[in-house]
Chains A and B, each alone.
Chain A
Amino acid sequence: DTGVSQDPRHKITKRGQNVTFRCDPISEHNRLYWYRQTLGQGPEFLTYFQNEAQLEKSRLLSDRFSAERPKGSFSTLEIQRTEQGDSAMYLCASGPRGEPGYEQYFGPGTRLTVT
């Protein structure tokens, strides 16, 4: 069990640029979440995958955000035309298959700074 990994750990970009983040979940986990966390707040749910299917997506997520998990393993989160308000920590978490009351295992996060 190598844990959840995220890449890159830090990203600085200029407003208007596109960015893509990668998440590698724990290998036997089929559930995958993306969250956004800003200073002084808890993680805010963005989207949920079960295997390769995106089953739930926050209504707060604008059309500039898209996520994929094409083979049910790693996932990518893309933000198009970044804005300064997108600056935050982006967290990925995975969960095991089967049991409904599962806990989530979090990666270290990708800190995005939009200048």
Chain B
Amino acid sequence: AQSVAQPEDQVNVAEGNPLTVKCTYSVSGNPYLFWYVQYPNRGLQFLLKYITGDNLVKGSYGFEAEFNKSQTSFHLKKPSALVSDSALYFCAVRDATGGFKTIFGAGTRLFVKA
């Protein structure tokens, strides 16, 4: 069965500092991995994805994520946080070897302090 774990309910970081939002996953086959962001009173927006190839993927708004197969992780990172990055972040996984079901984590709230 597929699953996603986001171990931190909230991450606090000062503006200008690097940020990391953690995600680990479980899937029977190869994974497609995604990060989505949800701003207050707005719908979920796609940030970036890992399909195959380079383990480091770059996405919108300066975010990047590193796929680590041995640790089954897909942590979201940004070198320098902005106050405007404060939002709810969701990691998601879909089994690349079959099925269409996408499983989301419970979300991590990122708070960037000025």
Contacts and interface: CB of A to CB of B under 8 A. Distances in A.
Nearest to A43: B104
Interface in A83-104: 91, 93, 100-101, 103-104
Interface stretch (A10-18, A48-56, A72-80): A48-56
A7 to B, nearest CB: 14
Query: Which label, helix, strand, loop or mixed, suits the secondary structure of the B interface?
Result: strand
B75 to A, nearest CB: 17
Contacts of A31: 100
B51 A48 contact: no
Contacts of A107: 43
Contact of A43 (B46, B90, B96, B99): B90
A71 B44 CA distance: 26
Contacts of B34: 103-104
A56 B99 contact: yes
Contacts of A50: 100
Contact of A101 (B4, B32, B104, B107): B32
A104 B104 contact: no
Given A42-B104, A45-B102, A56-B99, A109 B46 contact: no
B44 A101 contact: no
Nearest to A48: B100
Contacts of A109: 43
Interface of B: 4, 32, 34, 36, 42-46, 49, 51-52, 90, 92, 96, 99-107
Interface of A: 4, 31, 33, 35, 40-45, 48, 50, 55-56, 58, 91, 93, 100-101, 103-109
Closest 6 CB pairs of A and B: A42-B104, A101-B51, A106-B44, A103-B46, A48-B100, A106-B43
